[in-house]
Amino acid sequence: MTINVKTSLVLAVALAAGAVLLSQDADESAPLFVGHDEMLAKFQNGDLVAEASAYRVTASHRNKAGQPEVHETVTDIFYVTDGRATVVLGGELVGGKMTRPHEYRGDAIRNGQAHEVGPGDVLVIPAGTPHWFQTVPNEVSYLVVKVIQE
């Protein structure tokens, strides 16, 4: 995986802005800086970047399709840094079963809208919205900001 300078800059600005905005309502008030090399390692492993009571930031990496899901109390914001995927948003979760409180996974999404995503694309998925990495031809890396509603 390679992340060019422009993508690194956008990623750093997005991460910093998101952390500052989200931390205003969080109990934690210390700023955070995560350097380029550490972020590359986190994307390789799909590691947690930062977490507070109001948000969670993760560097995610997939090499296969995911399972359709819905989070009742969490808004997901994805910023694609590398690779390609087809992500289905909206519609109705088919065969949904609760996997933990306020979270459901299913077999498919009916009447959702498919989006071909790649580097630089942003997805904002409000709480309660079905979403699914339906296809991942090779691999895809993306920054995830989860905004946690109480």
pLDDT of residue 150: 72
CATH code of the domain covering residue 31: 2.60.120.10
User: What integer is the mean pLDDT of 19-44?
Assistant: 74
pLDDT of residue 16: 46
Which structural domain range is residue 13 located in? 5-148
How many Å apart are CA 150 and CA 147, to the nearest integer? 10
Token representation of residue 83: 């690779």
Give the list of residues 6+ apart from residue 104 with CB closer than 8 angstroms, or none. 69, 70, 72, 93, 96, 97, 98
What percent of the chain has pLDDT above 70?
81
Average pLDDT across the chain, whole number: 87
* Tens of pLDDT, residues 37-64: 999 999 988 899 999 999 999 999 999 9
Range of lowest pLDDT (25-34, 85-94, 132-141): 25-34
Residue 13: its H or E element? helix 5-23
Query: Into how many domains does the chain fold?
Result: 1
27 φ, ψ to 5°?
Answer: -70, -30
